[in-house]
């Protein structure tokens, strides 16, 4: 029998792991998945941030728990995987969202900073996806992986915004998403990416201050920055059976900025 739209978006009985889930876009996505019925496990580096975020999720009626891990480090990613599978069982939805940025002109960009951005924004996505897939998704022939990319991965930046490593890493995430979707489709695993535009967050506060929040908002056809709801719909679409025939795709959630810039 064909399901209703409400049934297609229902995530009851599923478990989601969200990295970088204690604040900003990751916490918004955790709310979305939890509100759709999923049990959520959030992870980031700081236990205090995770405790606060978990309390917020639980106050909203979401089954939430946390595991502290620094996804820059392989041993932490392996521990995050094993602890998650031990504590909650199979993972149905993986959101690779942990990320870092670094601002510096390309000619002066420190190599150490380049490596830090690449390790967290690309290498950790690959390793955690590999471990969760082998440990849970591939054996069950099902799963949804959602990668946080960025409109920065679609091209260059406005004058005065110098984030060469970040842009490069997010471009890599987009093609990582495509390649992994093609390879793991036969395993029943869907892999998609979200490309946010400018959202107020701790990571973007420097850019918003330097470029001007009103100026950046005015640059978007919709005339505003992203808010605390704008990633929810796409996140649940990618995660749920409402998107069961969608894989290898990216979608910009940017108020139309990429339409103007040609992304």
Kindly report, residue by residue over 69-103, the tens digit of the pLDDT. 999 999 999 999 999 999 999 999 999 999 999 98
Set 9, 66, 125, 166: catalytic member: 166
Kindly report, residue by residue over 132-145, the tens digit of the pLDDT. 999 999 999 999 99
User: Of the ranges 37-46, 117-126, 198-207, which one carries the lowest mean pLDDT score?
Assistant: 198-207
**Mean pLDDT of all residues in the chain?**
93
Q: Read off the pLDDT band of 7 (50, 70, 90).
A: very high
166 is catalytic: yes
What is the pTM assigned to this prediction?
0.94
Give the per-residue pLDDT at 131: 98
Mean pLDDT value of segment 155-165: 81
Q: Read off the pLDDT band of 35 (50, 70, 90).
A: very high
Give the per-residue pLDDT at 56: 98
164-169: Cβ within 8 A, 24+ apart:
164/104, 164/106, 164/109, 165/101, 165/102, 165/109, 165/113, 165/114, 165/117, 165/118, 166/100, 166/101, 166/102, 166/117, 166/121, 168/118, 169/99, 169/117, 169/118, 169/121, 169/122
Mean pLDDT value of segment 245-255: 97
Give the per-residue pLDDT at 218: 78
Q: Which domains does the chain have, with CATH numbers?
A: 8-255 (3.40.50.720)
State percent of the chain over pLDDT 90: 83
Give the per-residue pLDDT at 210: 54
């Amino acid at each position: 029998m064909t399901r209703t739209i409400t049934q297609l978006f229902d995530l009851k009985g599923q478990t989601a792991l969200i990295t970088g889930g204690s604040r900003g876009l990751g916490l918004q996505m955790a709310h979305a998945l939890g509100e759709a019925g999923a049990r959520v496990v959030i992870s980031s580096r700081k236990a205090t941030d995770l405790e606060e975020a978990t309390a917020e999720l639980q106050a909203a009626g979401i089954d939430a728990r946390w595991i502290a891990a620094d996804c820059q480090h392989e041993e932490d990613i392996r521990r995050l995987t094993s602890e998650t599978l031990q504590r909650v069982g199979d993972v149905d939805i993986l959101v690779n969202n942990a990320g870092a940025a670094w601002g510096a002109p390309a000619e002066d960009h420190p190599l150490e900073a380049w490596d830090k951005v690449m390790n967290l924004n690309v290498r950790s996505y690959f390793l955690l996806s590999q471990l969760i897939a082998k440990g849970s998704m591939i054996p069950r022939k099902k799963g949804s992986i959602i990668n946080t990319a960025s409109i920065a991965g679609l091209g260059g930046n406005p004058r005065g915004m110098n984030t060469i490593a970040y842009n490069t890493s997010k471009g890599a995430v987009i093609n990582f998403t495509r390649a992994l979707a093609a390879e793991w489709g036969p395993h029943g695993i869907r892999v998609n990416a979200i490309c946010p535009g400018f959202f107020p967050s701790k990571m973007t506060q420097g850019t918003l201050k330097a470029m001007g929040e009103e100026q950046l908002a005015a640059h978007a056809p919709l005339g505003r920055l992203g808010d605390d709801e704008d990633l929810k719909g796409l996140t649940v679409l990618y995660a749920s059976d409402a998107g069961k025939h969608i894989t290898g795709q990216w979608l910009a959630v940017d108020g139309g900025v990429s339409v103007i810039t040609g992304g």
